[in-house]
């Protein structure tokens, strides 16, 4: 295990508004560009915590080079992305936690969004650039049955991670499941922030990995977290879509 950062030499305990959390593994090729983008957003209100999974490609060397600009970093073995994120929350001191990948890019709207973070029981989410287009959907309960809110747009109250952790059985979509849980939890409200927060790079781990366990559990999770009405509406929509595909296929044969 290796660790470093400003916090190591400064024991003073501060409570920033937001902790930016990034987990890394063998990202040396683009990691320095990421740091050059994110570090200017550090301030007394914003800290940066990085958890590395024992990279072997020079990522740790870069962390050491930027040691005096990162609040806290640690390199240790993990069991995957969400396991690392769960551990990273233990080192966060912010009132809200914000997760971003080392291949993503923060935008000026991030700083503007900080002004909206007021209610400690609110999950705030903004807009992101996804595949060249602005994703700015304002979510209702049923929307979680169809799609997920981009991780890079969400500011979670720190208290979320005293009640929940990412389910590491879900290798790709543990954040989707967490969002379902939080949306159905009456202790939390969701509030949209009309600011462009980040650019989400869709070429990461999730683009090349299937999450079969999440798919197997999906309908059960809909019932348990979003309720029977959302589940039945989802099933009806799927059956309707399947019926249209069969009609189209039959016409093509004729």
Share of the chain above pLDDT 70, in %: 90
Share of the chain above pLDDT 90, in %: 74
Is residue 207 predicted with pLDDT exceeding 60?
no
143 domain-assigned: yes
228 domain-assigned: no
Average pLDDT of every residue of the chain: 90
254 domain-assigned: no
Q: Which domain holds residue 78?
A: 2-221
At 55, is the pLDDT very low, low, confident or very high (cuts 50, 70, 90)?
very high
**CATH code at position 184:** 3.90.550.10
71 domain-assigned: yes
For residues 96 and 117, the answer to whether their CB atoms sit within 8 Å is yes
Q: Is 186 exposed, middle or buried (0-12, 13-18, 19+ CB in 10 A)?
A: exposed
What is the pTM assigned to this prediction? 0.90
Q: Give the three-class secondary structure for 153.
A: helix
Is residue 73 predicted with pLDDT exceeding 90?
yes
193 domain-assigned: yes
Q: What is the domain count for the chain?
A: 1
146 domain-assigned: yes
Residue with tokens 């700083």, as numbered in its chain: 111
For residues 41 and 11, the answer to whether their CB atoms sit within 8 Å is no
148 domain-assigned: yes
Longest Cα–Cα distance in the chain: 75
Which of 26, 6, 31, 4 shows the shortest CA–CA distance to 16?
6
What is the pLDDT, as a whole number, of residue 245? 46
SS (H, E, C) 175-228: HHHHHHHHHHCCCCEEEEEEEEEEEECCCCHHHCCCCHHHHHHHHHHHHHHHCH
Residue 4 CA, distance from chain mean position: 24
229 domain-assigned: no
At 253, is the pLDDT very low, low, confident or very high (cuts 50, 70, 90)?
very low
């Amino acid at each position: 295990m290796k660790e470093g950062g400003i916090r190591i030499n400064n024991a003073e305990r501060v409570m920033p508004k937001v902790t930016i959390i990034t987990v890394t593994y063998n990202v040396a090729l683009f990691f320095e560009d990421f740091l050059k983008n994110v570090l200017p957003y550090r301030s007394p209100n914003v800290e940066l915590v990085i958890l590395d999974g024992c990279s072997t490609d020079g990522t740790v060397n870069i962390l050491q080079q930027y040691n005096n600009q990162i609040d806290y970093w640690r390199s240790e073995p993990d069991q995957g992305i969400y396991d690392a994120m769960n551990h990273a929350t233990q080192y966060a001191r912010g009132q809200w936690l914000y997760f971003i990948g080392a291949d993503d890019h923060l935008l000026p709207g991030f700083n503007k969004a900080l002004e909206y973070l007021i209610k400690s029981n609110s999950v705030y989410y903004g807009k992101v650039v996804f595949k060249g287009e602005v994703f700015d959907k304002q979510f209702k309960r049923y929307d979680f049955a169809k799609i997920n809110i981009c991780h890079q747009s969400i500011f979670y109250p720190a208290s979320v991670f005293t009640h929940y952790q990412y389910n590491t059985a879900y290798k790709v979509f543990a954040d989707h499941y967490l969002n379902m849980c939080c949306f159905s939890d009456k202790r939390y409200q969701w509030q949209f922030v009309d600011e462009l927060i980040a650019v989400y790079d869709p070429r990461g781990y999730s683009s090349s990995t299937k999450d079969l366990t999440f798919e197997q559990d999906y309908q059960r999770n809909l019932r348990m977290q979003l309720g029977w009405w959302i589940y039945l509406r989802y099933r009806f929509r799927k059956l309707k879509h399947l019926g249209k595909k069969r009609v189209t296929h039959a016409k093509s044969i004729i």
